[in-house]
Structure formats: C-alpha cells, structure tokens
Structure 1
Amino acid sequence: MYTPGWQIVFLDDPPRLKPAARLPRRPFQYQRWEKNIFSRGKTHTPVRRTVNICPMHTLSTISSRKSTQPFVHALAWFVYASVIYSANYLANPAIKLGDTVLFLVPYILTFYVSLHLLQVFSRLGTIWTIGGVALFMVASTTAGHAYLFVILPKFGVYVFNPAHPEQFAKDALLGFLLYFSYALLYFFADRNIRRRIAVTDLRHQGLKRELENAKLRELALRTKQENMLQEQAFLRAEINPNFLHNTLNILHAQAQRYSEELATNIGKLSKMMRYSIQTTEEQPGRVTVTRELENLQLLLDIHGLHCKDPKLVLMYIDGKPDGLMVPPLSMITMVENAMKYGDLTDPENPVLISLIMRTNELHFRCRNKVMRRTEIASSTQRGLANLKRRLDISFKDRYTLCNRKDGHFYNVEMIIYN
C-alpha cells in the first residue's frame, strides 16, 4: 500500500527529468507524493507535486552564512597553512612561511574548483560528474606542472627535482585526490546543513500554520456562537412585537364598547406597531418618505393626547417626496426622543419639526427645549447610534447625522442624499 509523504530535493540532487522539464533553479524544493484520485481502475498512480520553498527564515540563514563564509574560509586556510608550515619547520628550519603558502596555492585552487564542479555537474548526473572531475584532474596536473617547474623556480622555490618526474606525478595525483576529498566532504556537509535548515524551517512553518488554523477554528466557532445568539435574539424580538400587535388589536376591539376615542388611539398604536414589524423584515432597510410621514403623524396624534395646546408641537414641510427614501423609523426615532425628554409645557419654545425636500435630497431637523435638571438620556444616545448604523448600511457615505445641545435646547439634524 502506498503511503503519501514528503521528500526534500536540493539542487544538488535533481530529479531525473528530461532537460526540457528540469526544475527551475531554487535554493531547494520539496515534493509531495499523493494518490491520483482521478486514475481509473483499482490501481492508484502516485502524483508528484513539486512546490518551491524559499522561506524567509531559510533565506536569512543562508544569506548570513554566505556573508561570513569568505572570512571563515580565509581563517581556516590560515590555520591549515600554519599547521603545514609548523610540521615542515620541525623537519627543515630553513623553510619559509611564504614557500608554504606558494606551495598550497594550487591545492587551494584544486579544492575550490572541485567544489564548484561538484555543485555544477551533480545536477547533470553521475556520468557528467565523473567526466568533469577526470578532465579537471588532467587540466590541474598540467597547470600544476607549469606552476611548480616554471613559475615557482622564478621565485627561488624548488619543490621537485626535474630529473624525477615520476615523483611529481605521484605527489600531484595524491594531492589532487586529497584536496578533492576535502571538497567532496565540504560539499556533502554543506548540503546536509542546508537540508537540516530546510526541514527545521518546514517544521516551524507547519507549527505556525497549525496555530493559525487553530485560531481560525476558534474564531469560526466564536462567530457561529455569536450568530446563534443573534438569531435567538432576533426570534425573541420578532415574537414580542407580533404579540404586542395582536394584543393591541384585541384591546382595540374591546375599547370600542366603552370609548371610541380610546379605540381610535389604540388602533393608531397598532398601525405603528405593524409598520415597525413590516419595515424590520423588508430589505434593503429603506422606506418612502410618504410612508414614514404617515406613521410620524400617528405618533404625533398619540402624543397629542397629553398636549392640550396644539402649538406645543409645530411641524413644517417643504417640497414633495418624489420617491425620496429614508431608513424606517428614522424620523419617528428623533421625534419620539424629543416628545419623551423635551419640555412640552412651554408654548414659547415648542418642539419644532422641519422637513425640507429637494431633488434627491432631504433635510430633517428636530429641535426641543430640554427639561430643567435633565441630562440627555442614554437611551436617546443609543437610539441615535442605532439610527447611524442603519444609515451606514442603507446610505453609506451619502448622509449626515449630527446632534448638539445649545444651552437649553437640543437639536438633531439628518441630511440624506438619494
């Protein structure tokens, strides 16, 4: 049975693909093997999914290593040259440090060229790698012969006796194999370090994703719970107004036996309740100005019962609705606050209601005198905050809503651009 899993693939270990389908050059890649759920028959064909990995943590780690790499290499070669010089100095005190450095130059070049060839040819396969190394060995031997027998003697440094070329060939071969082995060891060690960095970073990213997923699941659960609570609250709010509306209809029928005026006002209150329920269920949260004014008049009629002087509430309307829209209960909310918390005993300062309508624009303003030693109630602020949210939903940035207290008077103004 095939088990899906992860396989780390570095550039030094390329997948055996055709040249046209070779992977792009990246620091490293990971591939996931999965079952092909679209394959026909009972046999499931593994599907190789390649994803490039360039995490910031890995890139920063590799970049920091590259920035310090020349210094570390120079220090390592200095220590190595010091060890070689010390060993030769014990055997021959006449030897100089410069001679040792000049002697090591071709071997150092052998190390770095071998390392570069391993990095290049390892992407092409084993045959290319062996061929490249063999070609480099011949070229380096030729260059080493010219360096040791032509260039160094000009500086007074004689390493081999020209009369014994077999000694040079032996030492050159052993030296090449030694420093090529150093390069090979460094190549695999560096690749292993990069692999460990990649695996560690993948684990960190996996843990980070799991943590983010856990937070998202927690947020989704919390949102679901909040939605359930809101739905329950909405259902309760829907039941209560309907219950009140039905109760008012019953009271209206019973009141007709005793007082026609009482029955009429209960009927008006029932109509307002029905308007409130219907506009809550309608979309997108808009009603015509005409409909809002009809129910506003019902509110004024009901409040007129305890306002003996009709001049205590003055309403001014200018213009025609012509399809203008407002949020439901918007005007009623502002007037109801004025009737509830305003001073309705001063004929000199009545409640002023003003509605001016123009093409695609309306101005609604309500002004009332504040009762003495009475602050603006928190319910008023909540009602205006609720109205503002409904305006945000229905009209977004095409409205203005402001309220202010000027001395003993409280003003609320709403401007809507249809």
Structure 2
Amino acid sequence: MEITAVNSRKTNANAFNPTPLTRIKIRSVILQHAIAWVIYIVYSFLLNLITNPDEHFLDIVFANLLSIWTFYAGYFCLNIAFLDKKPLKAILLWICGLVVLFGLRYIYVFVLLELIGLKPYTTDTVRLVIRDSILLYMRFFLYSIGFYYARKAILRERQLRVAEEEKFHLQEEKLRLEKMHIQSEYAFLRSQINPHFLQNTLNFFYSKSMNVSRQLSDGILLLAEIMRYALATDEAGDGKVLLSKEIEHLKNIIKISQLRFSGGLYINFSIEGPMEGIRIIPFVLISLAENTFKHGELLEEDNPVTITLKIDPEQQCLLFDTCNKKTTGPKELSSGIGLVNIRKRLEWMYGHNFSFTIKEEGDIYKTHLEIKYEQS
C-alpha cells in the first residue's frame, strides 16, 4: 500500500491541477488502499462471526470505520511531526484525535444504539468505551507508525535505485562521448596528414602550370585555397569561423565549379547585409550549397541555382536559402556531410536558436536556414 504524504511546505499550484499521469497514480493508490481495507473488513467480520457471533453487524461496521479513521489520523500526525518538522502541532492533533474518537464512540454507544434499542448502557459501559477507545487508538497508531516507516524505506530504496540507474546512464553517456571525442580526434588527425606536403605540392603545380594554361593555374590556386580552408585549425577554440571566411570559401567552390564547365553553370549567389564580426560553425552553408550542386540542374538558364544570404543586424539573424531544380542526370560529389548531420551540428551548437527546413515543390528543392547569431 502507498499513501500520499501531506506536506504543507511543498504545497503549490500543481497540487490543485494534477497532470493526467498524477491523477492515474492517485487513483491507483486509492484503489490499493480500498482493496486492502475491504480485505481487512471481511477478515474482521469473519473473525467476529467465529469468536463473537452475538455482536451486531452495526458494531462491526462502526468499529472498522473508526479503525480506518484512526489509522489515517495517526499517519497524518506523523507526517506533520517528521516532514513538516512540527512535533508539538502533531502531538496536539494526536490528542485531539483521541478526544474525537472518544466522542464518536460515546455518541454511537449512548445515543445511536439507545435510539434503535440495540444495547442498554451502564456505568461499566462508560469505562469500556474509554478503554476500548484508547486500545483502538493506540493499536492503529502503531499500525500507522509501521506503515510510515515501511513506506519511507520503500521510497528510499526506490530513490536509491533510480539514482543508481541515473548514475549508470551518465557513465554510459560519458563513455559514449569519450568514444566520440576519440573518433573525432582520429578523424581530425587523418585529415591533417601531411597538410604542408599537399599545400607545397599544389603550389609547385601552380607555378609550373602558369606557363602552360592560365585556366589550369587558376584552378590549382583555387584548389589550394579550398584545401587551406578545409585543413585550417579553429583559432578561437569555439568551434566557429568568421562568416566572411566561410563565404569566401563558398565563392571559391563556385569559381572552381565554373572552371570545370568553362563558365557554363547557371548559379546566382547574392549577399545582403554586413558580415563583419559574425562567427558561425564551418561547412554548414558550404554543405547546403554543395547539396544544390549535387542534386540541382546547373545547365538551364531558365532554372538557375539560387543561393541567398541575408544578414539582419538588428535582429542578429542570418538567413541562408537555396533553391534548385532537381536533375536526373549525373550528380556532383559533395563533401559527404549529410543534411541529417548538418541538423545535429546546428542543434549541438545553437540549441533552439536556429531553424532549418526543407521544402519540395514538384521538381523544385528548397532549403531555408535561420540562425540567431552573437556578434563578436
């Protein structure tokens, strides 16, 4: 059995407006108590039939009602004494409960029973009422004490079990994060393999190609810039880069793509608003743009890929939109950072300070990213 403790210190508005789950728990507790008391009353009735068959049914019912009242009155006093830290108030209420019990038994024996003519009373009857009342009150008060400490032990055991489970889950989460950290460090180290060698090699190719093809040398120079940005370390240590550098890198990707197709790609890229001092997580805007190159139709003049960046300094809000017609032909390779990964990175860095939506209207594919940034 379980009972909801009365604790005036913790009373709040939620107590008067319980949630559906709380109401279910309350009903379950009431049902458990009702079943327990029904079992007790049936047991008491059967026991009286055997030991005292002459006792009237009303005596049994009234005695059990007083027993129930005494049990909860004692439990109420214990909660006031130990939870509310008001032992004097609890003692006074306990004494008042005993007086009320005397009064109820007196009214029953000397008023109600006399009215219906079931039991005459004598001077000895008064002493019996007092004695039985004290015995009943003490017996069920002891039951209340036992129930109080049994319930307290059960709740403590439950809390310890929950705490152990939470500790276990925290340890698992810590191990998972440590594993992810190790994996990310390993991936970072792999990406950093001989960056200077790659950079020097590209510079060598650039110098040698200048006398061969201006277009080829420009492409190698752009590729070197792209690799330099991709391999750059986070100088500020906050996992972010300047928006201006991200956009410069995006422009280089567009330029090198145009070189590959001899300037035949139809890509409209526009910027509105100041970028100074704005820092964002890297490769998100680039990945969204690359996604349009991978899935978009780039060779139709009437359906160009559009990429728009708007910065609202008053609202400290960055808006990035892409729009492209879906292609059924060969697809460009992307950086491999999927849209799902982009959303996870945004959630990790910005929490609720961003929104990212994808919309498909027939053969038109759109993405919209909105970030609330902090000016550095």
Deviations 1:368-416 (A, max 9, x none): 9866xx6x58x55946648965996799547757698x7xxxx876677
Query: Of the candidates 212, 224, 247, which is equivalent to residue 270 of structure 1?
Result: 224
Letter in 2 for 1:202: R
How far did 1:218 drift? 0.7
Query: Of the candidates 129, 147, 151, which is equivalent to residue 197 of structure 1?
Result: 151
Contact 1:81 1:101 (C-alpha < 8 Å) held by counterparts = no
- SS of the aligned residue for 2:240 comes to coil
The alignment status of 1:217 with 2:171, answered yes or no, reads yes
The alignment status of 1:297 with 2:255, answered yes or no, reads yes
The alignment status of 1:151 with 2:102, answered yes or no, reads no
Distance 1:401 1:243, change over 3 A: farther
Note the 1:49-88 alignment, pairs <5 A: 63-68=30-35, 71-72=38-39, 74-76=41-43, 78-79=45-46, 81-83=48-50, 85-86=52-53
Contact 1:296 1:332 (C-alpha < 8 Å) held by counterparts = no
How far did 1:202 drift? 2.0
Query: Of the candidates 127, 135, 143, which is equivalent to residue 173 of structure 1?
Result: 127
The alignment status of 1:313 with 2:264, answered yes or no, reads yes
Q: Provide the residue aligned with 1:101 in structure 2.
A: 56
How far did 1:58 drift? 9.5
Deviations 1:2-28 (A, max 9, x none): xxxxxxxx999xxxxxxxxxx7489xx
Contact 1:115 1:187 (C-alpha < 8 Å) held by counterparts = yes
Distance 1:205 1:350, change over 3 A: same
How far did 1:251 drift? 3.5
Cα RMSD of the aligned pairs, angstroms, is 6.0
Unaligned 5+ runs, structure 2 = 11-21, 79-86, 276-282, 312-318, 372-376
TM-score normalized by the length of structure 1? 0.52
Structure number with higher strand proportion = 1
Q: Provide the residue aligned with 1:39 in structure 2.
A: none
Contact 1:330 1:387 (C-alpha < 8 Å) held by counterparts = no
Distance 1:275 1:323, change over 3 A: farther
Deviations 1:169-216 (A, max 9, x none): 3x6435642453244223212431342133123212311221122012
Q: Provide the residue aligned with 1:237 in structure 2.
A: 191
Deviations 1:94-153 (A, max 9, x none): xxx5xx42995899499659947973888657798679868976x7998699569x937x
Letter in 2 for 1:185: R
Note the 1:26-41 alignment, pairs <5 A: none
TM-score normalized by the length of structure 2? 0.56
- SS of the aligned residue for 1:296 comes to helix
Distance 1:215 1:291, change over 3 A: closer
Q: Provide the residue aligned with 1:45 in structure 2.
A: none
The 1-side partners of 2:172 and 2:249 are apart by 45
Contact 1:315 1:354 (C-alpha < 8 Å) held by counterparts = yes
The 2-side partners of 1:314 and 1:300 are apart by 6
Count of residues in correspondence between the two structures: 324
- SS of the aligned residue for 2:56 comes to helix
- SS of the aligned residue for 2:175 comes to helix
Query: Of the candidates 225, 248, 251, which is equivalent to residue 202 of structure 2?
Result: 248
* Structure (1 or 2) with the larger CA radius of gyration: 1
